[in-house]
Structure 1
């Protein structure tokens, strides 16, 4: 816990006041922090946040081409499937359940590489993983990088304002950050390189990887359906990249207590199970906070979990050697006692 207290670079407005209460910055403060941290000319250590949003901006022309040149109902359906289901589910499979929580293990590096590159590469693992560990340690409390009590912009701009790792880690703490990423296959900087770039990843390698990943997928989509299909899918990926930044605000009740009895069993934070993120991405968020290391979070019959389907399928064909599944534990510890108590109250 001590490491996670200072693993992230604190914003200029701070995490909490002298009484320990969350500091809720104004929209002006949030935008000012955002553009300050994007300024690579002032500080090259801002490169990762700038790089992440640069990729989003690069997808805008594809989105405009899809809307104004290649639009059709078939293309709209493809865009929906790719952005909402494929990109969403991949985010859950790769960033959430593997990179952060190690809910399953790949048999070898091939299956890890295959899964990592199933879609366009947009979000750097480093920004997601370290900050997500902090999110679970401090969920809905000061220091949570996407604390819904901070408001919509607090969450939407979090990947730049709150999620990057601290630029002043000791060598020992930097090694701890490296260990959080070691299983992902990320080639990390040595400590002297970290002191230069302020990140685990090296910008040169990140740029090369980006070019190869996007070039490969554009070529595949072009061969399948020409520029129309390629622009549609790239534009859809850009839509997802913006939309996913709204998830934790929604997934924690927009700063309100929206938990429901018999649906949201975890009461340690404000996370909630939502039908839309659950159906399209397997993100049953309250279940996940209850069992963060489970490779399955769709515990109830109606809770479709495409991410779990992929993990289970890879296990069946030998690509995944180990996984954790907490469904039985959830039913025994939470759902069945709830139903028995509900029945007893009804019959009394």
Structure 2
């Protein structure tokens, strides 16, 4: 990783955190209202969906298919999450699946960085300063690398970072009556705070969901399901289910496993915008099921 890449990633961690500190001061001063929270919620859902439905289930695992225009829309929303270019994200994640929790995994809490808190730190944030964006596009994301429009979108990632901050700033400016205070509030709540939340929820899947939680299937890696992350992660925290069946469009395989991303994909399918949706039958799930006494792992 170059010094410039490391500095940019460090800024991506520190600046949103600074925004959260400012937001705490604004909360103390009651400088927040329904408009600010609505901007935060809309931006969170749009960009988190770009990651979970777009970057992950559509582009990384091809769990379903959509027309090119919608595929690029999801990729754009994913880039607005400020988690790296579409090619970097997909290549890193495919490499994670190719080397899960063994040497070569970009962000395992169990390999190369000790155990306990040091491993969790690496999986959650430390990897951003070492291995993020270093997976070979030609090896792990050849389909996107050979797509000129997707490749062009990836090169424009810095522009998407700017748009990710500009959109909520403009929304705050307009919705608060064309005031600079409204613009600032949109920038902080819909921009910095939202980026912070989406980042850390996503990174928790890398760290928490390979360390704490439960397991249902007989697979070799150390992925886990973490129920309390299901809502904020839009279903991504059924991560052990996902590692058992990587191409499944649905990660919450039980009715009680809330998976908002799967509901979005199902909705797209019902209106004819998604097709070839990968579904895992109960019989296939039963074939991989662990005995009940082995479903939990130690914290």
Does TM-score exceed 0.5, indicating one fold?
yes
Q: CA, structure 1 residues 247+126, in 2 after alignment: closer, same or farther (shift >3 Å)?
A: same
What residue ranges of structure 2 are gaps of 5+ in the alignment? 114-118, 177-181, 294-299
Greater relative CO (CA pairs within 8 A, separation 6+): 1
For residues 47 and 81 of structure 2, the distance between their equivalents in structure 1, rounded to whole angstroms, comes to 10
Give the superposed CA RMSD: 3.4
Report if aligned partners of 1:259, 1:270 keep a CA contact under 8 Å in 2.
no
Structure with higher Rg: it is 1
Within 5 Å, which residues of 2 pair with 1:133-148?
A: 133-148=94-109
Aligned residue pair count: 270
Partner of 1:114: 73
**SS of corresponding position for 1:279:** coil
Q: Residue 88 of structure 2 aligns with which residue?
A: 127
Query: What stretches of structure 1 move > 6 A for 4+ residues in a row?
Result: none
Structure 1: 5+ residue runs without aligned partners?
A: 1-36, 41-46, 189-199, 342-348
1:25 — aligned with what? none
Q: Please tell me whether the aligned partners of residues 94 and 115 of structure 1 are also in contact (alpha carbons under 8 angstroms).
A: yes
- Answer whether contact 1:121 1:214 (CA < 8 A) is retained: no
Match of 1:218 in 2: 169
From the superposition, tell whether residues 133 and 117 of structure 1 become closer, same or farther in structure 2 (CA, over 3 Å): closer
Can you list the C-alpha shifts for 1:74-116, whole angstroms capped at 9, x where unaligned?
579658856876654442212221221111111231x223333
In structure 2, the residue matched to 1:196 is: none
For the Cα contact (< 8 Å) 2:251–2:259, is it kept in 1?
yes
Cα deviation for residue 307 of structure 1 reads 0.4
Matched, 1:232 2:216: no
Matches within 5 A, 1:304-323: 304-323=258-277
- Equivalent-residue separation in structure 1 for 2:259 and 2:142 (angstroms): 29
1:54-203 matches, within 5 Å, as 54-60=11-17, 62-69=19-26, 71-72=31-32, 74=34, 81=41, 87-109=47-69, 111-118=70-77, 120-124=80-84, 125-149=86-110, 150=113, 151-155=119-123, 156-165=125-134, 175-177=138-140, 179-182=142-145, 185-187=149-151, 201-202=154-155
SS in 2 for 1:320: coil
With normalisation by structure 2, the TM-score equals 0.74
TM-score by length of 1: 0.65
In the aligned structure 2, how far is the partner of 1:113 from the partner of 1:96? 13
